[in-house]
Chains A and B, each alone.
Chain A
Amino acid sequence: MKKLMTLLLMALMVTGLHAQTKSELPNITLKNLKGKDVNIAKLNNDGKPIVITFWATWCGPCIKEHNALNDVYADWQAETGVKIYSVSIDDSRSTAKVKPVVDGKGWDFEVLLDPNGDLKRAMNVSNPPHTFLIDGNGKIVYQHTGYFEGAEDDLYEEILKIAKKKK
């Protein structure tokens, strides 16, 4: 039995080696604040970069990150065409607060709701804030956890790298 297990494990490893570790986006559907379904695997920004950032209404550093991103978002869009999706992992304690908070703070991102943590688990997010950068081919090229003042500048450098590659 043990041998069989070893055998199977090794077989799996050989096949596994050929699986890619550069991740594409998972096939998970979330609702946006207008109640429309958005399939994450099919996110598309006409070949321009996409940022997905996980946050929650109760997460202080996330709010700081969002405020900072919102301040520069218009400039970033004009220069690179980047689109920011902000995924709220608020559960039923605070789902009802997400839209009033987003509107009240005046954020312009497209906000998606992940109350059951499906996308959070699929993208291996342990602690918010956690930010992903996706290139024009739908591949995750950069990710970062936590937020310090000014971290958005580093994200923007990464965005510029792939936005330039496009041209």
Chain B
Amino acid sequence: MRKHILVLLALALGFSFRASAQSFVEGGQVSGSFQTDAQYYMLDKGIGINDLNGKKFGINGFGKVNYTNGNFSAGIRFEAFMPELNGFRSELNGVGLANFFATYDNGFIGMTVGDIYDQFGSGLVFRTYEEWSLGMDNALRGARVVLRPTQGVTLKGVYGRQRFFWAPYLERDMGNDDYRGIVRGMDAEWDLNQSISSLNDSEFKMSLGGSFVSKKQADQSSFYNIPENVSAAAARINLGYGNFAFSTEYAYKINDPSAINNFIYKEGRALMSSLSYSQQGFGAVLQVKRTDNMSFKSMYTGKQNDLDINFIPPINYTHTHSLPSMYTYSTQPNGEMAAQLQVNYTIPRGTALGGKYGTKLAFNMSQVNDIVRDSVAFGNQMALNQAGTLGYTSKFFAVSDHRFFRDINFEVDKKISKDWHLTAQYINLYYDIETIEGHAGSPVVKANIGFMDVTYKINKRQSLRLELQGLWENEVHKGYEVEESEKKDYQKRGDWAFALLEYSVNPHWSFSIADKWNYGNPVEEYRDHYFTGTVTYIHDATRVMLSAGRQSEGVVCVGGVCRTVPASSGVSLTVSTSF
């Protein structure tokens, strides 16, 4: 009986709400998306998986629903890691409502409460974002106000506490290691071309911006005197004239001793600039970056990517094919000098080299070195990067001889005929594996990598795609002497070959088989084959992907989409849909 009354009440409430807010509901729309990535793990002595540690299954899943109606929107996202897939952080294990928000924005004022994703400028002092394939989410739970008082001017204010896996958002979670601080930030941007009517259609473009961010954290250390308020500021300018564009951003952070910088009391600085020129058929961009002690987290004990308030963009080329992406550079938070040049050119159709369809060429070069650090006086002696001191001094434009990374690559992309398409790339790589992956004493990876991706259109519905790739190291080959105790550091080293054959039937099906072979590893037991078979089914915005076999660490692109996968053996299933 009580149940019936409840139902009646609910209906009445629902309908009355409908009546009183007719317009609110009438124009409203619901949309959302789901994704589940599941894997069944199997023992595979051949690639060194001798123990599953009691973990036979891993499942990552999310479901999100958005409601929008004119100027109003709201959404929720559930997440389930039961338990998390291998390669994801174990703190993710759990199920719950991970994210919710409500926004009202009428163009003049926008307000959001809940979980906020935003960035100021290029993110050097503030950026919150979510990347499902990495299990990364540093959303700010709190409030945001955006004001646009006049055309071309945007003012933003944010306030809140960041997501840290499933830790509760409490003021101070006593007895726990969670001492997350509060993050507050302001940003102003002025676009002169939108603001000043005489500049509206000018060839000359200019916009200016500035941001200020501060964190308030509790000093929990009995050893160091941790500053309870740490602030950072940044200024940026974007200029354009005709086909040229220039942008630069400079950021400064006061002393912020943390686990990442070894508790030194040095200020942080970052500078990032880019200059580009482009016209139809040709584009070139040069980027330079200098960062020094710019890790900025809302918990000073945070490691890895925990609770990052800012984002230091890596500016190297992002490879997506299997072997080229095996040695992917990751940003060194304590300091880098980096530069990149990219040129894209299309040889026009109807020329000797362009052929009937034109030929697309791309060149990219990027290099990252360490900054130069000089010791500072500590008492009556000199110390370098010692905890509790000012750490070091660093000349702004000095580049260390210590090179972390270099990638020089050249790509040709050519539609040969109506049915044949070819993409080929050559890469010359330098990768300091000791610094980037922490394998102490491992020799630098110096390699030549090549790949070729050929597509043949059988008919309107069916096509075949063949990928051939090779990675050849200059020094670490089959005959390279490895000490028994150092063998572990040579997993995945040496020469590799990769082949993939994909048969797809539009618009639904794709079948592929691939083998990745570490044939030239200096350690015989690591000369393994990683064989995989994959079936993908796509229907509109729904994708189902089933694959079986061995996967080594890296990025895999099959069925038209890419994602990163950890090393494993077994069967995996991905289902995703959006509506």
Contacts and interface: CB of A to CB of B under 8 A. Distances in A.
Query: Most chain-B Cβ atoms within 10 A of its Cβ — which of A37, A91, A96, A117?
Result: A96
A106 to B, nearest CB: 4
A135 to B, nearest CB: 15
A105 B129 contact: no
B73 A122 contact: yes
A155 B285 CA distance: 33
A18 B281 CA distance: 50
B68 A96 contact: no
Given A14-B11, A20-B29, A143 B507 contact: no
Contact of A144 (B207, B460, B538): B538
B33 A21 contact: no
Interface string B450-483: 0000010100110101000000000000000000
B506 interface: yes
Contacts of B460: 150, 153
B276 A99 contact: yes
B352 interface: no
Query: Most chain-B Cβ atoms within 10 A of its Cβ — which of A11, A12, A101?
Result: A11
Interface stretch (A22-30, A43-51, A76-84, A159-167): A22-30
Interface in A2-61: 3, 6-7, 10-16, 18-24, 26-27, 34-37, 57-61
Nearest to A21: B30
Interface in B384-430: 413, 415, 421
B489 interface: no
B283 A124 contact: no
Contacts of B193: 35
Interface in B46-69: 64, 66-69
Nearest to B286: A96
Query: Most chain-A Cβ atoms within 10 A of its Cβ — which of B11, B35, B320?
Result: B320
B320 A93 contact: no
B561 interface: yes
B560 A24 contact: no
B65 to A, nearest CB: 9
Contact of B13 (A7, A130, A146, A147): A7
B106 to A, nearest CB: 9
A149 B504 contact: yes
A11 B421 contact: no
A23 B579 CA distance: 9
Query: Most chain-B Cβ atoms within 10 A of its Cβ — which of A12, A21, A103?
Result: A103
How large, as a class, is the contact surface on chain B?
A: 35 or more
A99 B238 CA distance: 14
Contact of B68 (A10, A122, A129, A145): A122
B540 A142 contact: yes
Query: Most chain-B Cβ atoms within 10 A of its Cβ — which of A3, A64, A148?
Result: A148
Interface in B523-554: 536, 538, 540-543
B306 interface: no
Given A126-B35, A144-B538, A10 B578 contact: no
A95 B121 CA distance: 11
B10 A104 contact: no
Interface string A105-134: 110000000011110011111111110000
A101 B118 contact: no
Given A14-B15, A96-B276, A100-B284, A115 B119 contact: yes
A106 B311 contact: no
Nearest to B28: A19
Given A14-B18, A15-B18, A103-B282, A96 B29 contact: no
B318 A124 contact: no
A14 to B, nearest CB: 3
Given A13-B14, A96-B287, A27 B313 contact: no
Contacts of A63: 413
Given A11-B14, A96-B274, A61 B9 contact: no
Contacts of B122: 92, 95
Given A96-B285, A116-B119, A126-B35, A146 B578 contact: no
Nearest to B75: A121
B344 interface: yes
A67 interface: yes
A10 B207 CA distance: 49
B184 interface: no
Contact of A58 (B33, B121, B320, B507): B320
Contacts of A20: 27-30
Interface stretch (B221-229, B356-364, B435-443): B356-364
B150 interface: no
A129 B285 CA distance: 24
Nearest to A122: B66
Query: Most chain-B Cβ atoms within 10 A of its Cβ — which of A26, A64, A94?
Result: A94
A91 B313 contact: yes
A19 B15 CA distance: 13
A100 B342 contact: yes
A145 B541 contact: yes
Contact of A37 (B17, B129, B194, B540): B194
B102 to A, nearest CB: 14
Contacts of B415: 67, 71
Contact of B561 (A6, A95, A127): A127
Given A15-B25, A16-B30, A124-B579, 20 more contacts: A12-B14, A14-B18, A18-B28, A19-B25, A19-B30, A27-B70, A37-B194, A60-B320, A71-B357, A96-B247, A100-B278, A100-B285, A103-B280, A104-B284, A104-B345, A104-B346, A106-B360, A124-B31, A127-B563, A154-B506
Q: Which 8 A-B pairs rank lowest in CB-CB distance, beginning with the nearest?
A: A104-B344, A14-B14, A100-B283, A146-B560, A104-B283, A10-B10, A58-B318, A103-B278
7 contacts: A6-B6, A7-B13, A91-B119, A93-B313, A97-B285, A148-B559, A149-B465
Interface of A: 3, 6-7, 10-16, 18-24, 26-27, 34-37, 57-61, 63-64, 67, 71, 91-97, 99-106, 115-118, 121-130, 142-151, 153-154
